[in-house]
Structure formats: C-alpha cells, structure tokens
Structure 1
Amino acid sequence: MRLVHLDLKGAPPKVSYLSEIFPLFHTLGANGLLIEYEDMFPYEGHLRLLRAKHAYSPFEIKEILHLATLNNLEVIPLVQTFGHLEFVLKHEALAHLREVALFPNTLNPHKVESLALVGAMIDQVMELHPGARWLHVGCDEVYYLGDGEASRQWLQHEQNTKAKLCLSHMKVVASHVQTRHPATTPLVWDDMLRDIPEDQLSASGVPQLVEPVLWDYRADLDVHGKALLMEKYQKCGFPRLWAASAFKGATGASQALTPIEHHLRNHLQWLQVAGSGPANTLQGIILTGWQRDPSDHLCVSGGFAEDVKARVENFLGISSLEITDFMREAGSFPGSNILALITQVSLHLRSSVDALLERDRYVTGWFSPFHRRRKLIHPVMIQHIQPQALSLLARWSTLVQELEAALQRIYYPDAVDEWLEENVYPSLQRLQGLLQDLGKAAGPQTPLASPGLDTSQDP
C-alpha cells in the first residue's frame, strides 16, 4: 500500500479540488488515502458540535469516496481516540473528559463517558465508510497521560504503570472496532509503543488487535534503529507493520514553502528501512502531509532513475525536477498557479517592503519614524518616496488579488483569510501606513493616492 495522507484540520480543500488532485496521486503511484477528518467530518446527533463551520456533508464524503474509487485509491479513515483530541475536548460540553483539566489534547481513559464518546465517533465515521479494511485510531503523542487526578490514583496501585494505562485504552478502542466492525483492522501510530518492554507489549493483547504505523519524519532518521524496532514489534506478535514518512509539514510551525530536500531524504531512508528486513515486512507506507501549508514546492533532486524522473516531470508539467526558480516555471498540475504566487509572496513580499522602509536612503534619511510621528517632510522628498511606494503597493495588490482568487477556488474562506492575514496583510499595511503618513505630512495641498487591498480586517 502506498497512501497519501490528507490532514484536514488545517486548511481543508474543497471536494472540487480533490477531484483534480486524486488523478495525479494515482498517476504518481499512490493506491490509497489516509484521510484525517478531524472536525471536517459531518458528525451527527450529540456529536454535531464537533463539526467545523465548513465541514463536509455526508453527500460530500460519499463523493470523496467515489472520486477515490474512480482513481483506484483505497480510503482509510483516521479518527483520533486518545491524544490530539483538541477538536473534541476544546468544547465546554466535553471539557470534563480531559485527562488534565487545563489541556484539551488528551482524553481521560478512566471515564465510561470517554469510551462512549470514542465509540460513537468511530461508529459514525465507519457508517460513511462501509467496507473499509482499515481504520486508523491515532493514539500518538498522548501528552500528560497519567497526570490527571484519576490516573494518579490509579498509578498508586502496585503493578500499574503509564504503559499499562496506555495499552489498556488502546485495547478497549481496538476491541470496540473488532466487535462492531469485524471486517476492519485498527491502525495506531507507534510512538507510545516504542519504549514498552517486549514482554509487557506481548502480554497486553494489543498486538493481536492492531497494526502499528512506525513514523519518523526526520531527514536523518536512524535506519538501523528502525529495523531493530520492526524486529521488536514482530517478536511481540504484531502480524503486520506500516511505515510513515512525510511529504510536507513536521519541519516547522509556520512554513509556507516546503523544504523538499529534507522530505526527499526522509523518503529515501524509509526505503532503506523497508529493504533492510525480510520481504513484505511492511504492509504499506503512508506519505503524511501535515497541514497548515497552503502550497508546496514540488521540486526534488537526486535519488531517481532517469526514466522515473522524466515521467514525473511530464506528470507535473515541468521541464526539470531540479528547477529551483519557480518564478520562471511553475508547472501545470492542479494548484500550480498557487505554488507560483505563494512562492513570490513568501520570497519577495516582505523583503521588498523592508528594502523600501528600512534601507531606501530617502525614507530612512528624510522620512524616518521620527519624521513620520511629527509629520515632517521636505516636499522634494515626497517626489522620491511616493512613486516608489505607490508602484510597490499596486504591484503587490494585483498579485495578492490573483492569489486570493486562486486560493478561494480550492479552500474555504476562513483558511484563505487566515493565510492572507498571517503572510500578506502585515507587509501591505506597512506600505499603506507609509503612504498615509506621507499624505498627512504633505498636507491638504498634496493629495496622495493609495491604491490596494483593504487590509483593515474589519468584520
């Protein structure tokens, strides 16, 4: 299995864009999707409060599955059931189910209501994914497990450990899947299992119920260490293992452009891991794409046979995979126009504004913050500063309007607004502020035009 991970908790795409990108996934060799819905799933009944403003409808979920089938992509849904439950536990009505009252990331595994909540989420997701062979139940990064009051009391009893508490919850969740959906096998991220001793892991019963997904997104992952970890899991009784690399995300909290070399090295090292053990040790590999990145570079270098390289170049509509200047050639794949525009914004917007406001000799010499506060400027200096500022603002405003229209075609309004507010408006507002201060300093006899976007962010 070669799965592409769709992380919908950041900037979920519209279904219309998925119809464009699924054929490319298939063409590039993927045969499955891991869809992490989070609050984009159309939960019903008492779970309806989990829905995001633009959550997919049941009809849209069916359309996604139909599009996946058309492109020979098997869908594995992902439902978080332990850690990373912010989208659930942030709600006041469910806050009492937190492991630690202050933090909304981890579920309290001791409460019957917690297990009922998880079971209801699983059942609703499975109802819209009939026939799914696998269901990913998360269980990664269960931070603060054992720190809640109920857990601290439980841990005071002899033989009780955090590892045992974790395995117990995994077993309950997996048993629910096995009982209610016997044709479906649960997958779990493996990080909470790594340090548990073999004998304890073997005796827990968990290896007979789930298949672990070994994940590591570093560019310098320990190939030998991963091979030893796979051996450990096999000895413990896990029948099948999976791996997970990353094609974007996991390298920073606020990136607009993906460091391709980092991810390429990660992919290649996972291939080394896969080749280090017996054949068919791995059931599949998941290429995770952690969200909040509105666009990605799709440029790579090295590690490909020439025939594969040529095919990928053809699929993406670019002349060379080793291109680094995306201003010159962006490709023809779905979303390539966004790639080109965001590359320009990310690499040049702030730097061009900084160059004018912080390094231009007329601005720094004759219209510094001191002069701007006091509305002082020589009329001659206006003729040096104003045309530059107006030209720069007009150029970026035109490009940003084009970018906003392109983003709106793929993403919902809140995601578009967030990205522009984080990455675009601060620089445009600085330019607009300069022009406004010029106008005030010049006085009513010298009106100044101020074209551009409305970046006031008023409702």
Structure 2
Amino acid sequence: MDLKGLPPTPQRLISLLDLIVACGYNAILVEWEDTFPWKCDLRYRGATFYNQDVIKRFVDRCGELEIELIPLVQSIGHLEMALRLDDNEHLREQVDCFDCLNPLAPGAHQLVEAMVDDVLELMPDVKRFHLGGDEAWLFGSHESTRLYAQQNGKDRLYLYHLDPILDKLIDRGIRPLLWHDMMIQWDDAALQQLSQKADLAVWGYHGHPDYTQDHLYHTRVIERFSNLNVPMWACGAYKGADGMSFDRATFESRRENTLAWLDLDARFDFAGFIATGWSRYSTNRVQTSPLDGNQDVIVLLGQLFSGQSNPTLQQVNQLLLQARELDGFQKCSDILNLMQRRRKIAWEQVQEIHEMLTFMQYDKNRNDPWLVEQSCKKLANAIEDVEELSDELYNVFSGRVALCWMQEYVHERIAPLKEQLAVFQSIGSKVPVY
C-alpha cells in the first residue's frame, strides 16, 4: 500500500484490513511516506498525515487479524520527501535533483536511520522491514560517490551506506527487504554478501519475465540471483502499473502478469509474493488510480498469490459481496471507468487538432480557421464531459479519500486538457485564409 498519493482516510485505512484478509493476504507492506507522524523532522508530515493514535490502531488491528505488518522507508532513491527541503540540498547526489541520496554526504546515514527509528517506535514488533532502495538512477554520480565507485564499485558504495542499517535491523530480529533493480549489475561476491542480510523483492509488472524486453526483471536476472542463493520475493501489481494517469487498472493485464510470477515460482521457489499498488510513480508525480476503484484486482492477486483458484470476474464480485465491499467498489470503478473513457476521447481530440494545425502550417493553402474553431468547440465539449464527473467522483469517494486529494486528482486530469485547448484557440485565431 503506497500512501504517498490518495491516502485513505483514517477510518478507511483501518477498515481496508478486513478486505485484505478476505482476499487471502497474510501481510501488508506499507510505504508511509508523508502520511506518517514523523518526529525526526515535522516537515515530512503531509496535509492529512495520520496521528500516532491512528497508527497504533492500525498496528493493533493488524495484530487482531493476524496480518504481518511490513513498513517501508526509502533509503537511497525516491527520497524526495526529505531531499526536496532546501537545508537537505547537501545530501543530494545532484544538487538539482531531489530523488537520490548521496550516501557519502555528512548526515546521509543519520537521515535514513532517524526515519527507521521513528517507524519502529510505533511498530516495534515487526518481523520484516523494507528499505526501498530502487530506481536510484543518479546513484554514484556526485563527485565524491563517483570516485568511490570507481575505486570500489557501486555495489560496495551501496553496501557501505546500508550495511549499518541492515545490521541494526538484524540485531533486533528484523529481516530487511530491498527492491532488486539496483543489484542487477553487482558482482557475485557483493550479491552473496547482501543475501546474508536482506531479501530482494523482484518487481516487474508487464507480461512474463521469460519474454519481457525489460532487462530489469528478465528471467536471466532471476536465475542469476537464484544461483547465488539470494532470497527473493516476486512482485506483481494491483494498480499503478498500467500507466501513470490511468484511472483504472487493466484487469486481464494484471492477471497475465500475476500468472507469470506463479509460473516462475515453480522454478525458483520465491520466499513470498507482493501485490504492489502504486499511488504515485514518485513523490513529485501525479496521483495514479485510487485503491477503492481497483478492489477487483486486489481480490484477483490475493486469490492467486495465496494459492487459490484463478477466479472469474463473477467469483471476484462474490468475494467482494461477502466482504460487504461490492456496492462501494462498483460505484468507485464505474465513475473511474467513465472518466477514463471521456478523458481518452478528449485526448484523441487534442491529437487531432494538433495534427491539423501542424498540417496547415506545412501547407498554408489548406488553412481553414472555421475547421479549427469547430474542432476546438468539440474539444471544449469533451472537456466539459470530463469535468461534469467531478462532483459524483467526490461523492463516491467521500469517507474513503480526503476531499483535498480527490480535488488534486481531478485537477491533474482536467487542467492539462484546458491548457491544450487555450493554446489551440490562440493559434487558431491567428490562422489566415489564403
């Protein structure tokens, strides 16, 4: 559960645990981000952060339902929450980029350790702790880290930074987890060293690793980890994987990918499975589809990963009915499906107008101001069709997600269309007739 976008209300956060159990899951991985009541730096707290009482009730409910709680705190990449602050500028790999920590900068280790300590204070009995560690594409690009990597290797730089934190967790009886993508180029010795201290969560959300064009999760990567006895978890996705601005997950694509991971499990015997649900691709990107509009895919992955039969849509809906979630889910998914269809129509009109104007610039004998005007009117109507869904969307998600986040969600989807329309109208008003 990625909480850095469209976080559930406190009541919904806790009630979702009953659905998680009903779907067949036995653990919940939570990336708290700015929803956590941070003490190490109050500026990390977002507009609707959960207070300590909410966190404690969530922890207690996990215990009552016998769901293992696994917290996630970023440790290298995706640290925008902390690194975007001006007085943390010295901790960045690149001064103008907020996402990657310079592990050699004074205070870098303490930054991560303080966040880990804050989380453990409110959930001291966890058995596993995820330290993120993925997509740190600028890792080793600072002058100091580049020199260290040249002399010792990026894998040793990574371990230099994380080893003390891994050891601290292990000393408390906690097994660390890390995303796998930054370890693909590591040498065998570094991977074997890491395998003694952490499990790798291998993620890939499209198709089958045997056939994927994405080298990050191709089966040969998994096979190499396996040959080196690296403990692995397989990770699919129930939302946020089909596109940054998709309003609904693609059910059959999620099924295909999940079945692929189960196929690989017969070969590699994964330690476990994780159904990820991304709410933003990173802190400073737009929000993806709301969780409550994708409960059908949550059920699908829960049933498959827990060893149940491959469910039909009818069986998925039956489970949601038994969990007393079906009516709410259908209202959420219906409005999101409608929004996605109407947005698609509007963006297709944007493309049509853009191509038309480009063509008219190429061949001025075909300039047609009236045609541009009519096409812009058609786009304006399409935008109105999207915008008129706003109030219903707010109503359907009331009590599930705070209004401020739903308003942001709508703005992210409508404002770009309006901006395109304004540009086209401005250009169209200047189109001469030859």
TM-score (norm 1): 0.73
Q: CA deviation at 1:216?
A: 1.5
Is the contact between residue 408 and residue 416 of structure 1 (CA under 8 Å) also seen in structure 2? no
> How do residues 219-234 of structure 1 correspond to structure 2 at under 5 angstroms?
219-222=207-210, 229-230=221-222, 232-234=224-226
Cα separation, 1, equivalents of 2:313 and 2:381? 41
Instruction: Choose the corresponding residue for 1:421, options 401, 408, 411.
Output: 411
Is the contact between residue 342 and residue 382 of structure 2 (CA under 8 Å) also seen in structure 1? no
Q: CA deviation at 1:307?
A: 7.4
- In the alignment, residue 326 of structure 2 is paired with which amino acid? S
Whether 2:245 is the aligned partner of 1:254: answer yes
Cα separation, 2, equivalents of 1:430 and 1:41? 37
Q: CA deviation at 1:234?
A: 4.7
Name which of structure 1's ranges 162-171 and 115-124 shifts more when overlaid on structure 2: 162-171
Question: Which residue does 2:399 correspond to in 1?
Answer: 409
Question: Which residue does 2:273 correspond to in 1?
Answer: 285
Is the contact between residue 34 and residue 77 of structure 1 (CA under 8 Å) also seen in structure 2? yes
Question: Which residue does 1:201 correspond to in 2?
Answer: 191
Question: Which residue does 1:328 correspond to in 2?
Answer: none
TM-score (norm 2): 0.77
Relative to structure 1, the CA distance from residue 82 to residue 390 in structure 2 (aligned partners, 3 Å threshold; closer, same or farther) is closer
Cα separation, 1, equivalents of 2:145 and 2:418? 51
Instruction: Choose the corresponding residue for 1:191, options 181, 205, 229.
Output: 181
Question: Which residue does 1:362 correspond to in 2?
Answer: none
Cα separation, 1, equivalents of 2:176 and 2:256? 29
Cα separation, 2, equivalents of 1:217 and 1:201? 23
Question: Which residue does 2:289 correspond to in 1?
Answer: 294
Question: Which residue does 2:265 correspond to in 1?
Answer: 274
Q: CA deviation at 1:219?
A: 1.4
Question: Which residue does 2:359 correspond to in 1?
Answer: none
Cα separation, 1, equivalents of 2:150 and 2:224? 29
Whether 2:205 is the aligned partner of 1:217: answer yes
Q: CA deviation at 1:409?
A: 2.3
Is the contact between residue 211 and residue 242 of structure 1 (CA under 8 Å) also seen in structure 2? yes
Whether 2:162 is the aligned partner of 1:162: answer no
Cα separation, 2, equivalents of 1:306 and 1:246? 16
Question: Which residue does 1:145 correspond to in 2?
Answer: 139
C-alpha RMSD of the superposition = 3.7
Question: Which residue does 1:265 correspond to in 2?
Answer: 256
Unpaired runs of 5+ residues, structure 1, are: 1-5, 319-330, 360-364, 374-384, 432-459
Relative to structure 1, the CA distance from residue 266 to residue 242 in structure 2 (aligned partners, 3 Å threshold; closer, same or farther) is same
Is the contact between residue 246 and residue 288 of structure 2 (CA under 8 Å) also seen in structure 1? yes
3-state SS of the aligned residue for 2:182?
coil
Q: CA deviation at 1:410?
A: 1.6
Whether 2:25 is the aligned partner of 1:35: answer no
Higher normalized helix content (fraction of residues): 2
Q: CA deviation at 1:272?
A: 0.5
> How do residues 355-374 of structure 1 correspond to structure 2 at under 5 angstroms?
none
1:316-344 C-alpha deviation (Å, 9 max, x unpaired): 349xxxxxxxxxxxx82544312111212
Q: CA deviation at 1:18?
A: 2.5
Relative to structure 1, the CA distance from residue 307 to residue 234 in structure 2 (aligned partners, 3 Å threshold; closer, same or farther) is closer
Q: CA deviation at 1:93?
A: 1.6
1:20-66 C-alpha deviation (Å, 9 max, x unpaired): 33222211111110000111111114x11111121111111112223
Question: Which residue does 1:245 correspond to in 2?
Answer: 236
Cα separation, 1, equivalents of 2:63 and 2:117? 22
Instruction: Choose the corresponding residue for 1:171, options 140, 163, 167.
Output: 163
Instruction: Choose the corresponding residue for 2:69, options 59, 70, 75.
Output: 75
3-state SS of the aligned residue for 2:71?
strand
Identity rate, percent = 26
Relative to structure 1, the CA distance from residue 25 to residue 368 in structure 2 (aligned partners, 3 Å threshold; closer, same or farther) is same
Question: Which residue does 1:443 correspond to in 2?
Answer: none
Whether 2:39 is the aligned partner of 1:44: answer yes
Is the contact between residue 198 and residue 232 of structure 1 (CA under 8 Å) also seen in structure 2? no
Whether 2:9 is the aligned partner of 1:14: answer yes
Instruction: Choose the corresponding residue for 1:332, options 321, 326, 333.
Output: 326
Is the contact between residue 155 and residue 162 of structure 1 (CA under 8 Å) also seen in structure 2? yes
Cα separation, 2, equivalents of 1:109 and 1:81? 9
Number of aligned residue pairs: 383
Q: Of the two, which has the highest radius of gyration?
A: 1
